[in-house]
Chains A and B, each alone.
Chain A
Amino acid sequence: MTTQSAAGSRYRLFLERFPVRRFVLVLLALVIAYGGAAGSIATLRAGRFSGEVWANLFISGVARGSVYAIIALGYTLVYGILFIINFAHGEVFMAGAFTAYFVAVGLASKGMLESNPIISIGILFVVSSLVSMGVAILLERIAYRPLRGAPRLVPLITAIGASLFLQYTFRGFYGANARAYPTIPAIQGTWEIGSFPVQKVHLISILGAVALWLVLFWIVERTRVGREMRAVGEDREIAALMGVDVDRTIVFTFGIGGALAGAAGILYVFLFNQVIFTMGFFPGLKAFTAAVLGGIGSITGAALGGLILGILETVGPNLFLDGAGVPSPNQLIPIVAFGILVLVLIFLPGGFLGAPDDKSRA
């Protein structure tokens, strides 16, 4: 290497020092910003969608986002105290909604869904939450507990396995077909808010999600077990020394995350009306995206992230892509979610409300 020409070594130096990563990042940001802006302007100029359509898209986005937010709480809670990504959380969500389907069919055959909608919806929520809670607790006991303290990637691989395993377990239990939930007449149609019609299911999903979020917030911030959860998240060993039963607290965290996922499952079914054994995977990933977007570990962040993601998903493709002449832009919804995930992690790894945790980078 000593006999290299000056020009050659300068060239090598340039290669060594060239900030590849920053260059790619800036380029990426510019391309996306330009694409988004150009697409939006073109869409709005063309004026294919009226204000009402945009408003409807927005509300359905908020409804969808609330469901993501509630699922995201499960990721955030578990991450907050164990620092693992519970990749199988989407399947926990599926388990409840899929099992509750059979209860719904039973209730429908007895005419309960029509005569007593509130009670039957209540039953569905309880069943779904309990099943999901059970699955989440079993998951913790069997798949995660033996791995405490293992290198980070180990529980992640386990979680991927658990996700696949749970999907195919429920396929084995309930069959491979998609099943349509029986309709609940009381929540069909629209309510007029002012003079603006809003679909009942959207409003119910939003209100339900808000209620669930408030309950969780209360549990974490105001109860003893919530304090224990925060303590374990802060420092497991010190918490144990202070008399916190760490195992029990972790089980409780998984349980409550599971229960929320189960409840979110019913809200999801209100919106999308269908259950199948694979239904948990993508909502799970999107909820994870939401959790990361808001700042993983933060309860408020999960809600914020969910809402932003939901709105971007419904409004985004139409706004950014339609004007750019992309046919059937709604096919590209997954790109919105994953694109956001990638961009957030690249530019803002801490999310909106989380601290960028440099120390745990590995």
Chain B
Amino acid sequence: MTPELRRSVRQGLIGGAVVLYLASVGMLVAFDARAIITNVVNFATVLIVITFAAFGYLAGRPGKGGEPAQPFLLAGAVTGAVAGATVGVVAVLVDFLITGLEWDVRSMWTSVSPTLMELLSFGQSPIVGALLMTLLGFTAGLAAGSLHLATTITRKVILLGLMAFVFGALGAPLFKVMLDGMHIPNRWLFDRDGLTITGAIVLFAAFGLARLGSFRVGGPRQALLKVPGTSEKNLRWVISVLALLGIAVLPWIVNDFVSDVLGFVGLYILLGLGLNIVVGFAGLLDLGYVAFYAVGAYSVAILTARSSYLVGGSVTAPAVAGYTNFWVAVPITILIAVVIGVAIGAPVLRLRGDYLAIVTLGFGEIIRTLVLSDWLKAKFGGPQGLTEVAAVPFFGLNTRDPQILYYLIYAFAGLALFISYRLKTSRVGRAWAAMREDEDIAEGMGVSVIKYKLLAFATGAAVGSLGGAFFAAKLSVANPGSFTLLVSINVLAVVVLGGIGSIPGVVVGSLVLVGLPELLREFGEFRLHIYGAILIAIMILKPEGLIPDKRRALELHQPDHQPEKSVLSAEATEGIQ
């Protein structure tokens, strides 16, 4: 067996294992419900094909120096076929366990349902199904491998077209709602929850051609600059204005549900920006960020909820008469959050980075446990939490309406965005960056590390509590179930995906991680699963995130523990960067 063949077979086995994994955690069956092209192909099948194709593509990658390490077509095809065969063989074995040995596999592997078995064998008998699966793998691998023969432009055009087609299909329900909202006829494009055949072809062709067109003039940006009378500067203006306009009209072209989801995205943008200050700017990994979210929600609830002991009629002597206004409560809330942020931050600031993370996590759990306990039930309402939080009063508008609250949330998110940008380039931001890169040197340069760390904690806490305040006003409850550790991890995932320290990254991260799973029901179930995978994958493949912050990216690509470096090796690393 030649090394090339061995590599292909190994890749194929891994590819098969990936598909089997997707099957055994129930993703395939869940995604089978989502059509890509209505009545033609479902997302489950597409996912299998994508996996086979991806491994075929990787296996067929040419070696260094442009010389093919092996025949592409063969490598891709072998990989795909091996992957398909692996899946097929395992499916046959499992089928034998169920029908032959009458072992109730499902009592252990809950996902091994008849639907799954049918899906994996394409509704045929197991053996035929396995052969079909191998054939599918072979074809997908061959096609993917042959992409290497095409020119770069062709390859990119085809890939973008395919991506547009898959994402267009996955987002079909959302796009349909938007097009309906704008009264654009779309029956020819979308059919219920997937694309029509025409739609698939149109999407593929449109994006493919657009990419091809932009290649001709050297990229989309250059294409726009070619238009007479544009320059870098006014192009940026135009884009900003268009983005603002888009945000402004968005709630009116989508339905209430989507506006509600967008509201949540806005909340996560707020939270993400807050955490980004702590983690991204100051380099302090805070895993208890949910504590501030909770503080915000509970403070507003205590100050404005009818069920609060301060407000409610059942308590004999309410400290605050009647309803306190949301706008009165917010500054108080922020103040409380800042105090708590400093109180949590102060004792732990001397700790090493990873210890700091765990301690903040501990603080988050302590706060949640306290809120849940019988001991403080009179204050925080125990597991039920505080209900009937007053809505945000705003010129007599009904702010429970997601389309109205949307604007309020985004106004504050915009404010946080502005503050983030200003902080980042300010003296404070530079002090944070210095501290993050090397604490001792920063201290030596006259940066008061304690002061700036506390400042980071306090700012992060203030922004986070604002998110919590809106959360409570939006849902009209504050209960401990909403403030688990998972929220901290979700926000962290948002920041990490977009790029640690990157402000636009937070926006993109929130849209992708909070918006998409809400809109794609089938994904919702696997949301945390996918978050976990994203955290691992991003850190390994692209630690600077989707929209990298330049300075941060440089730091991340600099090895932390350099071995005792001679002058020579230090120069050498500098030379590389």
Contacts and interface: CB of A to CB of B under 8 A. Distances in A.
Interface of A: 16, 20-21, 24-25, 28, 84-85, 102, 142-143, 146-147, 149-158, 160-169, 171-175, 237, 285, 288-289, 292, 326-329, 331-332, 334-335, 337-339, 341-342, 345-346, 349, 360-362
Interface stretch (B53-61, B294-302, B524-532): B524-532
B354 A332 contact: no
A173 B25 CA distance: 5
Contact of A165 (B354, B359, B533): B533
A172 B26 contact: yes
Contact of B369 (A154, A160, A289, A334): A334
Nearest to B454: A20
Contacts of A24: 343, 346-347
Contacts of A28: 347
16 contacts: A20-B450, A85-B354, A150-B556, A150-B559, A151-B560, A158-B540, A161-B533, A164-B532, A168-B532, A173-B25, A334-B365, A337-B362, A342-B362, A342-B366, A345-B358, A345-B359
A223 B21 CA distance: 37
A237 B563 contact: yes
| Interface residues of A, dominant DSSP | helix
Interface in B477-530: 489, 492-493, 496, 526, 528-529
Nearest to B562: A149
A156 B540 contact: no
A150 B543 contact: yes
B90 interface: no
- Which of B283, B354, B369, B454 lies at the interface centre, i.e. has the most chain A CB atoms within 10 A of its CB? B354
Nearest to A343: B347
Contacts of A158: 535-536, 539-540
B283 to A, nearest CB: 8
A149 B561 contact: yes
Nearest to A79: B354
A21 B533 contact: no
Interface of B: 21, 24-27, 107-111, 283, 285, 287, 342-343, 346-355, 357-359, 361-363, 365-366, 369-370, 372-375, 439, 448, 450, 454, 489, 492-493, 496, 526, 528-529, 531-536, 539-540, 543, 555-556, 559-561, 563
Contacts of B374: 327-328, 331
A76 to B, nearest CB: 14
Contacts of A326: 375
Given A150-B560, A331-B374, A349-B351, A161 B358 contact: no
A236 B251 CA distance: 57
Given A172-B26, A341-B362, A160 B347 contact: no
Given A20-B454, A157-B539, A162-B532, A173 B366 contact: no
A346 B348 contact: yes
B271 to A, nearest CB: 17
In this complex, the member of A166, A337, A362 whose beta carbon has the largest number of chain B beta carbons within 10 angstroms is A362
